[in-house]
Structure 1
C-alpha cells in the first residue's frame, strides 16, 4: 500500500512528456509531414507556373513560324502559277508553243527543280522541259478534271509517281483552250515535295519540328518531319481541315502518327489557294531545359524532405522506443507473474545453496492439480515437509545424483496419491548454474502422462490386432490412397506393402475388377458410413480371388472424411462349395448335361429371346430306340455308359450357343436358337442320326443304338415352352410309330386327327 501511494504521488507531479501521452507521441511525425507537404506544394506550384509560361511562349513562336511558312508557300505557289499562266497564254494566243525559246529567254525554269509538261487533248505529252520518253497522262485525275470543265483555277494534285522520272511528285496544272474555248490540253509543272519544304533550309527549325502543306481534301501535299521530308500518312488531316474551316488561324496539341511525339501545332489557311500550312514544335523539345531544371528542383526538394523526415523519424523512433521499453517492462512483470501459474506442467525450483538447501523457491499452481501441493504448501519448505517419506527420499537421491553429475535427468515415476488411482509422471530435472559454475538451483518439470500411457497401450493393442488378424485390412486416406495394409493382406493377395502403399486403390495392382459396381459401393459407403458386398479380385500370381468386403468411413470431428477402412475376408472355399452345390442342383449327375430343372429354365429364356428378337427356335425331343433291351441284357452299368456316350455325341452335333439337357431315363432335349427355317433343324437331325450310325463301345461290348427325334418350331407350333416341349414329344412318338431311327416335325392337322 505504501508503494502504491508513492506511485500515485509521482503521477500527480510529473511534467508533460510525449512518451507518456498516447496521442501526443504522434505529433512529432505529423508536424514533419506537414512541413514536407508545404515544401512540395510550394515547389509544385512554382514548377506549374513556369511550365505554363514556357508553353505559352512556344505557342507564340510556333504561330510565328506558321505565318512565315505561309508567306513562303504563297510565293512558291505563285511563282509556279505564273509560269503556268505564261505558257497557257502563249499557247492560246499563238495556237502553238515554242518551249525551247521560252527556256532560252529564261521564262521557263530549266534547272530541273520544276519540270514543265505540255499535254494535248488526248493526254499525250507533246513538249517537256526535261528530256524523257513518250507517255500519256489521260488517266490522271488532274487531267480528267481539266478535260471535263474549265474552272479557270490552278489545280495542285496529290503526290503521285511521275511516269517520266519515277519519283514522287506534285503537279500544278492549268487548262489550255482552243479559240472556241474547247479543250486543247493542259500545262503542268511537276515539283517534288522538297520544293515546298525547301523553306526549312533557311529557317531555324528544331530537331523535332515539322512543316506541312495540307490540301482541303485532307491529304498532305508535302511534309517535313524531324529533319527530313516524309510521305508517311497522317490521320489528322481531315480533322485539321474541319478545324480550319471554322478558324482559319489557330493552334492545338496532338501526338503525331509518324513518330509518336507530342507537338504544338500552329496552322494557317491560305487565302488564295486551297491549302493549309502547318508548323509544329515538340513539347518535350520546348521544355527540355525546363525538365532539367525541374528535376534539379525536385531533387533538392526530395533531399530537403528526406532530411526533415529523417530528423523527425529519428526523434519519433527514440520516443517510440522509450515508450515501448516502458511497456515491455510492464509486460515482463505481468508475464513473470503469470507464466509459472499458466504452464500446464508442474514447475518447481529448489535451492541448492547453503542456508536454503533443499527449500522450494518457486512452485506453480499446476502442481496443485497434479500432486495436490500448491505454492502456499511448498514455498520455503523442503520435500520432507510436503511429501511422504518414500517419494521424498527418491527426490533427495535424484538430487545427489544430479549434484554429482550435473546434467538433465529424464525420469518416469509412478506415485500413489491419497484418494486417487496410481499415476504415471514424467519428470525433467535440470541444474541451474551460478556465476562460478556451481549448481545453485534444480528446476523440475512434472507432467501427468497416465492417460497418454493408456492411449499408447490401446494403440499398441490395436496395432497387434491389425497385424495378427486373419482378414486382410486396407486403410486409405480421404483420396483413397493406400496408407497401410496388414500382413494378412500380403499373405492373401501376394502383394507386398511396398506395391500398394502410396497408390490410389483403384489404380493399384489390387484394383477392383467391377469398376462400375465399385464406384456405386463407394457412393453407398460415403452416404451410409459403411457397406458390405461380395467382390472379385486377382492375386498377384493371376489366380482369381473371391472376397467379402466390409468397408467403413472414418470421419473427423467436423464430419470431413479422414480414412477408408476395408476388411477383406477370403470366401473362395465357400464360393467353390456353393458352385459345386449349384452344379449338383442344375446338372444331371450321370451325363453332366443340364437336368430337367435347368433345361426348363433355359427353354423359358430361349423362348423370351425369340419373342423379343422376332426369330424362330426349334425344340428337339430325342428318345433312344431299344434302350430297355440294353439294360435288360447287358445290365444297368452298361446302360449308364451308353447314356454318357449319347450325351457326348449329341453335344458334338450342336453349336455352342445351343442347349442340351436330359429329362430322365433315355430322353434328351435339344434347344436350337436363331433358326432361319426348318431346314436348319433338319441338318442337326441328320447330323445326330449320322453320329448314332457308329456302334458304341461300352465296357468291351459293341452296342448299336438309334434315336427317334420329334421337332416343334417356335412360333408356328406354339409360343409357350411347355407347349413346345409337349408337341416335340408328340412328334417324337410319331417318328417311333413310323419305324424309329428318324425325325418328324410336329403337324397340327394330323395331331388333331
Structure 2
C-alpha cells in the first residue's frame, strides 16, 4: 500500500498532469472573473444608456410642450392684434388669468420699427428691439415659425431671458413686427428636479446654432455656452439621436450621454450621468470578485492534487449541464434565425398581456404581419440574403415596440411575424405603433451592398373588442392580414365580423 502511495505521489507524469490542470483551472478562474467584471461593467453602462435615453425622450417632450404652449400664446396674441388693429390688453390678460402660466407673463408686441406697443410689463419709450436677433430673424423670415433666441439680458426685465418670437405679417404681406415673450433659461432645465441623474448629472438644451439655451450640471444652471466642439453636438450632424460615453466634456467629468434632436424646433436635448456613478455598483462587486478569486486560488494551490482534480471535473460537468439545459430551454422558445420569440413563447406572452389588460381595464392588440415582396428577394438574391433581410426586419420591429411595456415581437416562420401590444388606453395607441412599423418596413434594406425594398401587410385585432380567446384572436388577426394583402398590401386592416375565412 505504501509503495502504491509513493508511486502516486512521485509519479512525474501524473504530477505534471496535475500541475497543468491546476494552472488551467487557475487561468480559467481568473479569465472568468475578468470577463464577469467586464460584462457587469458593460451591463451597467448599457442600463444607464437605456435609462438616459428614456429620460431624454421625456425631456424632449417637456421642452416641446413648453415651446408649443409659448407658440400658441404668441399666435393668440398676434391674432388679436391683427383682427382688431390694435395691440391686445396683455396686462389685463395676465391679471384676469387668460394667460395662466407664470413663465409666459413677459409678453410684448413690437412694431416693424422695433418699438414696444404693448407689454405685460412697464416699459420705457426708449426701449427698442430693432437690433435684437429675435427681431431681425423674424423680419427676414418667410415662414411662420417660432424663433428661439440665445439668452439675452432683458432691456425691460433686467434679467437674463430667452426671447421667443413670432412674426407679425400684415394683410398686404409686409412685415408688421413681432410678438415676443421671454422665459427664464433655468425653466428649460427644470426637468432636472424630476430626473435622478446623480451628483454630477447633466441636462441641457442646445440650439442647432451651437449655443446652449440652458444647462444644469449637478444642480448648477448656466447658459449661452459655445457647444460646437462638444461631442454630442458634433455627432448630431450625422446622427440626430444617440448614446455614447464621452471623454469628460465640458467639465472634465466622464459621462454616459444620451441626446436627441427635436423634430419641430432647432434644438437638441442632452442628458448625462457620471460614468463613475453609473458603474459604482459593478466596481464594488469587482472588489468582491477579486477577493473571492484570490481566496479560491489559494485553496486550489493548498488542496491535495487528487481533491483538486475531482473538484475541477465536477465543476466542469455541472457547468456543461447548466449551459446545455439553458441552451435547450432557449432554443425551444425562440426563433433560431432572428432570436425573436417563437409561437410557443409568443402565446405565453400573449396570455400574460391579455390577463394584465383584463386586470387593469386596458386594451391589448395582436398584430399578424406578412412581408410583401420577400419571396422575390429570396428567389432573386438567394437564401443567405433572404435570411439577412429577415434579421434586419426583426431588428426594425424590435425598435418599434415599447421597451418598458408588455410588447413582444415574434417570428412564426418564413416571412410571418406577430406582435402583441399591451397597456393600450385607446385604439389610436395601437394604430400609431402600427403606422410606425409600416413606415419602418418601407425603408430600403441594405443586403451586402444591394438595396432592396419590401413592405408589410398587417392584420390586427383588439382585446377584448374582437374577442377574448387567444387562439381565436390570433386566427382573426391572420384573417385580417390576408384582407390587408387583398386590399393592396403595405397597409393594415382591423378584423371585423364581416371577414370570414374561406
Q: Under a length normalisation based on structure 2, what TM-score does the superposition of the two structures give?
A: 0.52
Aligned equivalent of 2:144? 152
| Residue of 33, 36, 45 corresponding to 2:26 | 36
Aligned equivalent of 1:283? 275
Q: CA deviation digits over 1:652-696, x for unaligned, max 9?
A: xxxxxxxxxxxxxxxxxxxxxxxxxxxxxxxxxxxxxxxxxxxxx
- CA RMSD, Structure 1 to Structure 2 (Å): 3.5
Aligned equivalent of 2:35? 45
Aligned equivalent of 1:263? 255
Cα distance in 1 for residues equivalent to 2:224 and 2:151: 11
Q: How does 1:138-287 map to 2 (within 5 A)?
A: 138-231=130-223, 233=225, 235=227, 240-241=232-233, 243-287=235-279
Q: How does 1:18-29 map to 2 (within 5 A)?
A: none
Cα distance in 2 for residues equivalent to 1:246 and 1:232: 24
Contact 1:174 1:186 in 2 (8 A): yes
Aligned equivalent of 1:56? 46
Cα distance in 1 for residues equivalent to 2:61 and 2:99: 23
Cα distance in 2 for residues equivalent to 1:137 and 1:282: 41
Cα distance in 2 for residues equivalent to 1:63 and 1:290: 21
Q: CA deviation digits over 1:562-596, x for unaligned, max 9?
A: xxxxxxxxxxxxxxxxxxxxxxxxxxxxxxxxxxx
| Corresponding residue SS for 2:246 | strand
Cα distance in 2 for residues equivalent to 1:220 and 1:242: 14
Contact 1:110 1:129 in 2 (8 A): no
| Corresponding residue SS for 1:163 | coil
Q: CA deviation digits over 1:326-360, x for unaligned, max 9?
A: xxxxxxxxxxxxxxxxxxxxxxxxxxxxxxxxxxx
Contact 1:113 1:192 in 2 (8 A): no
Structure 1 position 302 matched with structure 2 position 294 = yes
Contact 2:94 2:100 in 1 (8 A): yes
Cα distance in 2 for residues equivalent to 1:245 and 1:158: 20
Distance 1:85 1:39, change over 3 A: same
Q: CA deviation digits over 1:184-242, x for unaligned, max 9?
A: 22111111112211223333443333222222222221222222322373645675355
Cα distance in 1 for residues equivalent to 2:101 and 2:36: 59
Structure 1 residue 33: deviation in Å? 5.0
Q: CA deviation digits over 1:413-446, x for unaligned, max 9?
A: xxxxxxxxxxxxxxxxxxxxxxxxxxxxxxxxxx
Cα distance in 2 for residues equivalent to 1:110 and 1:311: 74
Cα distance in 2 for residues equivalent to 1:117 and 1:285: 45
| Corresponding residue SS for 1:117 | strand
Cα distance in 1 for residues equivalent to 2:111 and 2:214: 28
Cα distance in 2 for residues equivalent to 1:212 and 1:111: 21
| Corresponding residue SS for 1:121 | coil
Contact 2:203 2:270 in 1 (8 A): yes
Contact 1:265 1:278 in 2 (8 A): yes
Aligned equivalent of 1:553? none
Aligned equivalent of 1:536? none
| Corresponding residue SS for 1:255 | coil
Aligned equivalent of 2:74? 84
Cα distance in 2 for residues equivalent to 1:214 and 1:237: 12
Q: How does 1:228-627 map to 2 (within 5 A)?
A: 228-231=220-223, 233=225, 235=227, 240-241=232-233, 243-306=235-298
Cα distance in 1 for residues equivalent to 2:235 and 2:247: 16
| Residue of 117, 124, 138 corresponding to 1:126 | 117
Cα distance in 2 for residues equivalent to 1:41 and 1:152: 62
Cα distance in 2 for residues equivalent to 1:310 and 1:244: 57
| Corresponding residue SS for 1:73 | helix
| Corresponding residue SS for 1:42 | helix
Aligned equivalent of 1:421? none
Structure 2, unaligned runs of 5 or more:
305-502
Cα distance in 1 for residues equivalent to 2:122 and 2:187: 20
Cα distance in 2 for residues equivalent to 1:103 and 1:286: 45
Contact 1:222 1:229 in 2 (8 A): yes
Distance 1:242 1:303, change over 3 A: same
Distance 1:154 1:188, change over 3 A: same
| Corresponding residue SS for 2:106 | strand
Structure 1 residue 59: deviation in Å? 1.9
Aligned equivalent of 2:107? 116
**Greater Cα radius of gyration, structure 1 or 2:** 1
Aligned equivalent of 1:353? none
Structure 1 position 66 matched with structure 2 position 56 = yes
Distance 1:188 1:238, change over 3 A: farther
Contact 2:151 2:162 in 1 (8 A): yes
Contact 1:234 1:258 in 2 (8 A): no
Structure 1 residue 275: deviation in Å? 1.7
Cα distance in 1 for residues equivalent to 2:112 and 2:83: 17
Structure 1 residue 156: deviation in Å? 0.2
Cα distance in 2 for residues equivalent to 1:119 and 1:179: 17
Cα distance in 1 for residues equivalent to 2:224 and 2:301: 53
